[in-house]
Chain A
């Protein structure tokens, strides 16, 4: 594998100011690297900051602090205007396939928008003929009929709309696509089709994905690596097989044991999550998982575990990792 980093995130912090002077830490010191050609799955319970991370990586939400290096260039402080040419290289597919399409514009108009605002590779404005040709190409790429171009978003099913979103994201031939739960709003039967489309496109176009999901089965199917998030931090990251079959972090193990056995075979002892996710406004001291962790010891609430390397291309943030000697 040509393991060149495409995107590096260093110490990302994102805080939301809430009314009544409170601060919500949506991202707390997140660092990760996305390699060229890989698919990094991002999993975690609702509210753990997956979308926030995805949006911060693409500079769609402003960071509180931290650095993002994309294709060797630090983009974390660039202005919206300076970012514009870089946006061609990185795209997003959103969870809500309806909300992400302007209901008043035709599909052809929506997909042509990025082609109209960005010049072509020679720096010239694209001609109408070029755009039409590209639209036809994109429609066959995502498996939609040409006639769809003249229609409005509401005329399509969820799966079809997600194809439209994918076509639009691919219009400028990006390197990186961040997909934020692109299938979780779809019927199970349609989910498989869309996941297959993502895999197919990755092979054909050499794309790199950050694929956000809360469904481990989907993540396992598409990802080469997985990052597990809990309360705004990455608690475990590594190769998909390693992390999902032999988790080191008790939280990963708990997530896996919540999935029916045939989907993911795992050796982890059954450990069901108890209690609710603590509020990200006042996260627990020490290891943020200690309030729910079956392995918790007194040290856990006092001392924050750092992400540590375990020598098998995997890192976890736990004082007492499972199945490994610490």
Chain B
């Protein structure tokens, strides 16, 4: 009989066959705007990680203590941090403005005489840490919710979906603000554990929680589509047990959705964190975040606008970059589109 070796078999080079992830990586590296966004994010993150080095060795300042009576050296001259106002409409003293000299109040001082540049870096550490952690926690919870709802369907799905609908019906910020006011004023007691009100875990978990419905919905949709996919029926017909189908066939195909969601949720979390901190119900003084620095700058907006502009700009850049990166990831990971060739 003819057992034809399929004529156009792929060349039999076994060496490093590119998998779906590697192909996505290639397509992402070829995407110039996504790579620019990634570079910007890495730069910001790296700068923020260097905050202690900058404060200790370059600016030689303590960004967490008030220093209204102090002075610093600029070009061999001693300069007071608080200076007579140069704005005729304002009385009293104003903090020094930007000097653009990295070792001497580069972006000026805030109303307590603290170095804005150093606080910007420290604040960035908190803002990025909170938003990224919140995104991860949110996705972890949303994955459990979305996968259970999508895979088991029926009652589980109805119950979880209704819960998500109710949570989503409350405006996100209102929800986060209410939760924050309660936890910040009282701290949080869970059994024997007490989480102090200045613990970063509080904003992380609040932000993660309020965005769970946002992330769970696409995950559920993906899982439902996968559950009806022909390869899942094929696995069933092969006698593969359900838990193994879930682990080997469904979850790996959901992971792309999770990867795409991560930067988008980080951006949302960053905005939420800034809003909460701006309202003094996120990061607590004297610690900083971009939101608290904007609040510090609010009172100085006419005399020293840089205090509010610098963290505002940082938020805009990071949120924009995260969204561009998210779009790039979505394009790169769309398995169907990139790899489905003629049937």
Q: A-side interface residues toward B, CB under 8 Å?
A: 55, 58, 60, 80-81, 83-85, 87-88, 91-92, 94, 96-106, 113-114, 117-118, 140-141, 143-148, 150-152, 154-160, 163, 165, 168, 171-172, 185-186, 193, 196-197, 200, 203-204
Contacts and interface: CB of A to CB of B under 8 A. Distances in A.
29 contacts: A58-B237, A60-B233, A81-B241, A85-B239, A88-B239, A91-B238, A92-B233, A98-B343, A100-B234, A101-B234, A103-B339, A104-B19, A104-B20, A104-B253, A105-B249, A113-B240, A114-B238, A114-B239, A140-B3, A143-B3, A147-B14, A150-B17, A151-B10, A152-B17, A157-B6, A168-B238, A193-B4, A197-B3, A200-B3
Contacts of A101: 231, 234
A145 B238 contact: no
Nearest to A200: B1
A114 B14 CA distance: 24
B103 to A, nearest CB: 52
A186 B343 CA distance: 7
Given A58-B237, A91-B238, A92-B237, A156 B10 contact: yes
Nearest to B341: A154
B340 A98 contact: yes
A171 to B, nearest CB: 8
A95 to B, nearest CB: 8
Contact of B230 (A84, A100, A113, A193): A100
Contacts of B2: 196, 200
Top 8 closest pairs, chain A to chain B, by CB: A87-B239, A147-B12, A154-B339, A99-B230, A114-B238, A84-B239, A100-B230, A102-B231
Nearest to A156: B10
Contacts of A160: 6, 8-9
B77 interface: no
Contacts of A106: 17, 19
Contacts of B229: 99
B5 interface: yes
A318 to B, nearest CB: 35
Given A60-B236, A102-B249, A160-B6, A150 B14 contact: yes
B237 A87 contact: yes
B248 interface: yes
Given A92-B237, A148-B9, 5 more contacts: A92-B233, A151-B17, A154-B340, A193-B4, A196-B4
Contacts of A171: 238
Given A150-B17, A152-B17, A154-B341, A143 B235 contact: no
Contacts, number: 135
A260 to B, nearest CB: 25
A222 to B, nearest CB: 14
A21 B317 CA distance: 53
B81 to A, nearest CB: 59
B3 A60 contact: no
Contacts of A144: 5-6, 9
Interface in B187-242: 229-231, 233-242
A94 B1 CA distance: 25
A163 B6 contact: yes
A103 B249 CA distance: 9
Interface residues on B, range: 35 or more
A157 B242 CA distance: 30
Contact of B253 (A97, A102, A155, A156): A102
A101 B335 CA distance: 13
A303 B240 CA distance: 46
Contacts of B244: 117
Interface in B240-259: 240-242, 244, 248-249, 252-253
B234 A92 contact: yes
A100 B242 CA distance: 17
* B17, B242, B336 — most chain A CB neighbours (10 Å): B17
A103 to B, nearest CB: 5
Contacts of B6: 143-144, 157, 159-160, 163, 193
Given A144-B9, A158-B342, A96 B253 contact: no
Nearest to B251: A104
Contacts of B239: 83-85, 87-88, 114, 117-118
A160 B12 CA distance: 14
Nearest to B15: A150
Nearest to B335: A103
A145 B343 contact: no
Contacts of A81: 241
Contact of A185 (B4, B252, B343): B343
A92 to B, nearest CB: 5
Contacts of B5: 143-145
A85 B241 CA distance: 11
B1 A104 contact: no
B101 to A, nearest CB: 53
